[in-house]
Amino acid sequence: MPRMKSLIALTMALLCAAAGGAHAQPYPSRPVQLIVPYPAGGASDIMARAFAEKLAAGLGAQVIVDNRAGAGGNLAGSAAAKAAPDGYTLFFGAAGPLAVNPALYAKMPFDPAKDFAPIGLVGSMALFLTVPADLPVKSLPDLIALSKARPGALNYASSGVGGTTHLAMEWLKSQAGADITHVPYKGTAAGVADMVGGRIQVIFDAWPTTSPHVRAGKLRYLAVSTARRSALEPEVPTMTELGLSGFDLYVWYGLMAPAGTPAEIVQKLARLTAEITTKADLRERFASLGMEPLTGTPDRFAEHLRVETDKWARIVKLSGAKAE
């Protein structure tokens, strides 16, 4: 009997050791899912995939990109927020679902401030105020003056009600007293095409969509939406330089995990994210997409989210935009 008890005790000890070893497996020990709130193929998706490739190399594990477009990013945000907080589901968050939508939607399926653990900012994208080259304006003051001389005659395109390209123009109109008619599209590419065709006179849009037409002499940049000039088009003045004080608007992206993710995993991902955004080849890739890299600690990202949420809430209220 003593021998039997010894064997049982040894067996239990071995089982406990095995269980403890499995529990203590280093992170990550299996593929990581990166939920992206955009369809495959666009600039934001390409940016996310470039980041995911670097993240996989840093983690030594596969990172699988999961595109879940819809509801302005709320579908993806909800799925990520409700995932297990174990570091194996991450969210490639953006200004839209995290900072704009809380003011735009009457009911949100998640709370960006409470349901996520910020990891680090990744990149940003400025918007360029763009007009046809044959429109008789050479500057933002010229455009404002023309809109006042011809109230409602000028049309501006956007990617849809509540999108950043819509809200940026409404902020401009409010500050400048401009009178320009909104024409929403299902994407800015169609709006830019109509601008080249002479049916649209103004758009606030990203560099990749507009720059080929600017280079071809068909469109002209009047201003950039950010507080400082863009490295992509350093000769284009900011809105603040042109008299619209405090105008600083851009689309940004950052990595997040579900709230409750262990602090050691968040810190590991934060260190990797900060390293990745300094890599020269990634910065070159971002530049080709009209993106500029960002970086920062989880605390800085949390503060950034708070400031951006307040800012976008004011702009959404000013525009009167609502989404269902």
Query: 271-292: per-residue pLDDT in tens?
Result: 999 999 999 999 999 999 899 9
**Mean pLDDT, all residues of the chain:** 91
Is the pLDDT score of 14 beyond 80?
no
Same fold, 32-124+251-319 and 126-224: yes
Residue 161 tokens, joined? 């009600």
pLDDT digits (tens, 9 = 90+) for 207-262: 999 999 999 999 999 999 999 999 999 999 999 999 998 899 999 999 999 999 99
Bridge partners (DSSP) listed for residue 66: 35
- % of the chain exceeding 90 in pLDDT: 78
pLDDT tens figures, 102-142: 999 999 999 999 999 999 999 999 999 999 999 999 999 99
- CATH code for the part of the protein at 126-224: 3.40.190.10
**pLDDT at position 162 over 60:** yes
Can you tell me the distance from the alpha carbon of 184 to that of 163, in angstroms, rounded to the nearest whole number?
9
The verdict on domain 32-124+251-319 having CATH code 3.40.190.150 is yes
- In contact, 132 and 177? CB cutoff 8 Å: no
Q: Where are the domains of the chain?
A: 32-124+251-319, 126-224
- In this predicted structure, the answer to whether residue 29 has a pLDDT above a threshold of 50 is yes
Q: Does the pLDDT value for residue 50 go beyond 70?
A: yes
Contacts of 50-57 spanning 24+ positions with Cβ under 8 A: 50/282, 50/285, 50/286, 51/92, 51/122, 51/123, 51/255, 51/276, 51/282, 52/92, 54/276, 54/279, 54/282, 55/269, 55/272, 55/273, 55/276, 56/32
